[in-house]
C-alpha cells in the first residue's frame, strides 16, 4: 500500500478534499494507496478533528518546542518515516502547512513532496497572494500544485487552475473562488502521481 502523509497547520480543507476523493474514487483498490496520516505543527488545527473522524492516524509536532528549524524537520521526518513502506516510498503532501522546510528535509523527500499555492506561479510567491493579484490589476488569478524544492514556491508545476478576478473583488471573495478550484485539482494531481509511482 502506498501511504500518503498530509501536513497541515489549520482547517485542512485541502486535506479533507483529498481524503474524500480517496474514499469516493476507491484509491485503495484502484491505486493501492491511502491517506495514512495527518500531521500538524499546531495542536489546535481543526483539520485534525476531520482526520480522526475518518479513521486516519494523527500526530501533532509543535515547532515551538524545537531549538531550530533543522531540529523540527528532523523530528518531522521521523514521524513521516513511520509510514514509509519498503519499496513504496511515502508521498508527502503539504496542505496549508505553514512552515518553511529546510534543505535537508526537502532533499530527503525530493520527487515525492508536493504543495499547493494560491496563485498562478511563478506570479505571487509567498503570502497575501489574492490581495497582491487584485492590487496588480490582474484579470485572472488561480492556484498551482507543484513539486517542492528548496526555493520557496519554485518547484516543477504539476497543475494549475485559473479563476477570473471580478470587478470589486475583495481578497476574501477571490480566495473563496480559488479554494473551490484547489479542492478539485489537488486530489487529481495526487491520483496522477500515484498512478505513475
- Residues involved in catalysis: 117
Q: Are 159 and 144 in contact (CB under 8 A)?
A: yes
Give the pairing of strands 91-94 and 57-60. Answer: unpaired
Pairwise CA distance, residues 32 & 55, whole Å: 18
CA nearest to 132, candidates 182, 186, 177, 169: 169
Pairwise CA distance, residues 185 & 67, whole Å: 36
Amino acid at each position: 500500500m502506498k501511504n500518503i502523509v498530509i501536513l497541515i497547520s489549520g482547517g485542512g480543507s485541502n486535506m479533507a478534499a483529498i481524503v474524500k476523493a480517496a474514499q469516493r474514487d476507491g484509491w485503495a483498490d484502484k491505486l493501492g494507496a491511502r491517506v495514512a496520516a495527518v500531521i500538524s505543527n499546531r495542536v489546535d488545527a481543526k483539520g485534525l478533528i476531520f482526520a480522526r473522524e475518518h479513521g486516519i492516524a494523527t500526530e501533532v509536532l509543535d515547532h515551538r518546542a524545537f531549538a531550530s528549524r533543522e531540529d523540527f524537520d528532523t523530528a518531522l521526518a521521523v514521524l513521516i518515516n513511520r509510514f514509509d513502506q519498503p519499496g513504496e516510498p511515502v508521498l508527502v503532501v503539504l496542505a496549508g502547512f505553514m512552515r518553511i522546510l529546510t534543505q535537508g528535509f526537502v532533499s530527503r523527500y525530493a520527487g515525492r513532496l508536493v504543495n499547493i499555492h494560491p496563485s498562478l506561479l511563478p506570479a505571487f510567491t509567498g503570502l497575501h497572494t489574492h490581495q497582491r493579484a487584485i492590487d496588480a490589476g490582474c484579470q485572472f488569478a488561480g492556484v498551482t500544485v507543484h513539486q517542492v524544492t528548496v526555493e520557496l514556491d519554485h518547484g516543477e508545476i504539476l497543475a494549475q487552475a485559473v479563476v477570473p478576478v471580478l470587478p470589486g473583488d475583495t481578497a476574501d471573495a477571490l480566495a473563496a473562488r480559488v479554494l473551490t478550484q484547489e479542492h478539485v485539482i489537488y486530489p487529481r494531481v495526487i491520483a496522477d502521481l500515484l498512478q505513475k509511482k
